[in-house]
Amino acid sequence: MAEHHSSYVPKTGFERWLDARLPIVRLMHDSAVSYPVPRNLNYFWTFGGILMFMLVSQIVTGIVLVMHYTPHVDHAFQSVEHIMRDVNYGWLMRYMHSNGASMFFIAVYIHIFRGMYYGSYKAPREVLWILGVVIFLLMMATAFLGYVLPWGQMSFWGATVITNLFSAIPVVGETIVVWLWGGYSVDNPTLNRFFSLHYLLPFMIFGVVILHVWALHHVGQNNPSGVEVKNYKKDTVPFTPYATVKDLFAMVCFMIFFAWFVFYHPNFLGHADNYIPADPLKTPAHIVPEWYFLPFYGILRAIPDKLGGVVAMFASIAILAFLPWLDTSKVRSGKYRPWFKFAFWTFVLVSVLLGYTGSQPTDKVVLAIGGRTVMDMVFFAQILTAIYFAYFLIMLPLLGLIEKPKALPASIADSVLGPAGSGHIAGAHAAPPKH
Amino acid sequence: MADQSMSEPNRRDFLFLATGAAGAVAVGGVAWPLISQMSPDASTIAAGAPVEVDLAPIAEGRAITLKWRGKPIFVRHRTAAEIEASKKDDASGLPDPQADAARVRAFEGKAQEQWVVVYGNCTHLGCVPIGFSGDYNGWYCPCHGSHYDNAGRIRKGPAPRNLDIPEFTFLSASKIRIG
């Protein structure tokens, strides 16, 4: 998009004085009031705002929890119980924080799948997309580090398993693991540094979110039709009130969902074993990560080789960053791609099933004929892993070449009102944005 | 432009390179303490000093778990039948080939093959395997399904190596020092 003029007009003398020195009100106005949004955005576009809310919620509850938590192997578990029983509203803060992590991931997975369905990663939004992948990685690191802090059995063994992933690195692996631990095993030095980093990373996420939004406002939002804005008057509406109100409404609905977990099922998404204090001599019988890591854990366990499993797991996340170049189709939105739709929903199903395999014991029988095991959980996960990677490496590159997409609407307005109606649109329209 | 790049290096070029090199050394000098502070500290290293273990209370066919350097160590007193079974598997295509004889240590030139001493962390991702279980009645790791035999050798599952053997020596026929 070309350069546009700001529609901000300072009203008072003070605003004029400030605008000449630090045009921060102008920045807010241009990015949250007059900023033009495509008029056809659906509710899947509200998750960016919901994620912003979740990040702030996690930071606020986290800062409060730190006021009562003790990062020491002898006191960490007790201090969490102290928060739950003694601290005023401590139970609320902790349940909001622990369930908030899950809500954060529910929202981010919807946000990612939305981007994948509507082709939001395609030019000119590649950098916007990659920044999103970076945020996702930082979120995963933050969630993992935070889960270790209560120092329960799952905390300890989760930390042991995940840090041991690095021992798969040839030659220097063991040295790196000792360096990460600050000792010969996961112990007090490990807990202390995890606490430090768990406090740091959310602010790094915040920084990358600013870049993410900057990139978004520079290239403009994608929309369900995947057609770029051609005429600001016809194709867009101003952010306020249209997007503001819609985002707020979605946020309230999401908060109800969030509150349902916090107040009625606060431990549903956690694991009971984490209410047992960490014991370095005893591994829980069935060790699983939090639900949001299960698909990747499923991939890790699917590969019978240690290094191979670790590489496949990291590759399954890193491959997201290459999506803009793996998808060869010129049509952005999946709405107009009949074959892609099928591939996409297969991918969603496979991701969910991979999560299921990650939650089950490896030797569990999936399919048996006449008492003979035809497929166990590992074999099932291997098939799913193959489909997962095939989506990126075979289906997306190939579909763009052989698929015949449906006819695209001439404009965003056309996609909403049909070619006849878009000529005369009543109501407000956005002022063009300024960069 | 061409004239400049072709000309002889002058004093400005030298100063530019020297400043850059000094800057790089300074950055490295500041970075190193920041990296090194994460390594095991002096108290952690001191707490990991060698320990002596009395083997006398461990009956034949039993095993104990002790904690050293924050990690479990298994000391298993094997029966003659178990040793026999393990030796028989020496040539059965092990994932990490190692003879039973290489899994035990000697005292005064005599192999103490009834004693197996191994780290109690699965070589896959560090979980603690369960003793006297699995397909080979050695150890079985509940996390990702690795089976070890009674000499701690990996037989089946994702673990890449046999259970690691800590550095240890026999002080007498019934006493070892680990570390």
Paired tokens of A376: 């166990």
Answer with the residue of higher pLDDT: A433 or A63: A63
**Chain segment A327-384, per-residue pLDDT in tens:** 999 999 999 999 999 999 999 999 999 999 999 987 788 888 888 878 888 899 999 9
Q: Do B59 and B15 share a structural domain?
A: no
pLDDT score at A3: 42
pLDDT score at A2: 38
Interchain pair A282, B128: CB under 8 A:
yes
- Taking the C-alpha atoms of residue A186 and residue A178, their distance in angstroms, rounded to an integer, is 9
CATH number at residue B104: 2.102.10.10
pLDDT score at B117: 96
- The amino acid sitting at A340 is F
Interchain pair B127, A283: CB under 8 A:
yes
Q: Do B136 and B78 share a structural domain?
A: yes
Strand, helix or coil for residue B78: coil
Q: Do B87 and B30 share a structural domain?
A: no
Which domain does B12 fall in, by range?
Answer: 2-36
- Taking the C-alpha atoms of residue B77 and residue B59, their distance in angstroms, rounded to an integer, is 7
State the Cα angle at B11 between B9 and B13, rounded to 5°: 55
Interchain pair B158, A160: CB under 8 A:
no
Q: Do B84 and B11 share a structural domain?
A: no
Q: What is the signed CA dihedral for A34, A40, A43, A48, rounded to 10 degrees?
A: -40
Lowest mean pLDDT among A62-71, A147-156, A192-201, B97-106: B97-106
Query: Is the Cα torsion angle B132, B136, B141, B145 positive or negative in sign?
Result: negative
Contact A127/A208 with Cβ under 8 angstroms?
no
Q: Do B72 and B17 share a structural domain?
A: no
Nearest Cα to Cα of residue B137 among B129, B128, B149: B149
The Cα diameter of chain B in Å comes to: 87
Q: How confident is the model at residue B28 (pLDDT cuts 50, 70, 90)?
A: very high
Q: Do B85 and B163 share a structural domain?
A: yes
> Domains in chain A, start-ordered, CATH in brackets?
1-32 (no CATH), 33-421 (1.20.810.10)
Q: Do B159 and B116 share a structural domain?
A: yes
Say yes or no to pLDDT of A421 above 70: no
pLDDT score at B126: 86
- Taking the C-alpha atoms of residue A277 and residue A77, their distance in angstroms, rounded to an integer, is 6
Q: How confident is the model at residue A431 (pLDDT cuts 50, 70, 90)?
A: low
Q: Do B90 and B22 share a structural domain?
A: no
Question: How much helix, strand and coil, in percent to the nearest 5, is found in chain A?
Answer: 65, 5, 30
A residues 234-293 closer than 8 Å to B (CB)? 280-287
- The mean of the pLDDT values for chain A is 93
Contact of B28 with chain A, judged by CB distance below 8 Å, is answered with no
Set of chain A residues whose Cβ sits within 8 Å of the Cβ of B72: 280-281
Set of chain A residues whose Cβ sits within 8 Å of the Cβ of B39: 178-179, 182
Report the complex ipTM.
0.78
- Taking the C-alpha atoms of residue B86 and residue B72, their distance in angstroms, rounded to an integer, is 23
β-sheet bridge partners, residue A36:
A238
- The mean of the pLDDT values for chain B is 91
Q: Do B66 and B20 share a structural domain?
A: no
Phi-psi region of A119 (alpha: psi -120 to 50; beta: other; left: phi over 0): left
CA distance B63 to chain A (A): 14
Residue partners of B31: CB distance under 8 A and separation at least 6: none
Interchain pair A301, B127: CB under 8 A:
no
Q: Do B128 and B92 share a structural domain?
A: yes
H or E segment and range at residue A338: helix A338-359
**Chain segment B84-114, per-residue pLDDT in tens:** 999 998 888 899 999 999 999 999 989 999 9
Interchain pair A281, B160: CB under 8 A:
no
**Chain segment A220-241, per-residue pLDDT in tens:** 999 999 999 999 999 999 999 9
Per-residue DSSP letter, A38: E
Q: What is the DSSP string of A218-261?
A: HH----TT-PPP--HHHHEEEIIIIIHHHHHHHHHHHHHHHHHH
pLDDT score at A55: 98
Q: Quote the distance between the C-alpha of residue B73 and its chain's center.
A: 11
Interchain pair B158, A280: CB under 8 A:
no
Q: Do B86 and B172 share a structural domain?
A: yes
Place of tokens 């403009």: A220
Which of B77, B124, B144, B147 is catalytic? The answer is: B144
In A68-153 the beta strands, taken as DSSP E runs, fall at none
Contact A219/A125 with Cβ under 8 angstroms?
yes
Our answer to whether residue B77 is catalytic in this structure is: no
Set of chain B residues whose Cβ sits within 8 Å of the Cβ of A163: 126
Say yes or no to pLDDT of A124 above 80: yes
CA distance B33 to chain A (A): 13
What's the domain count of chain B?
2
Say yes or no to pLDDT of A163 above 90: yes
- The amino acid sitting at A307 is L
Lowest mean pLDDT among A64-68, B3-7, B130-134: B3-7
Express as a percent the part of chain A with pLDDT over 70.
95
CA distance A307 to chain B (A): 9
**Chain segment A15-63, per-residue pLDDT in tens:** 999 999 999 999 999 999 999 999 999 999 999 999 999 999 999 999 9
Q: Do B136 and B72 share a structural domain?
A: yes
pLDDT score at A305: 83
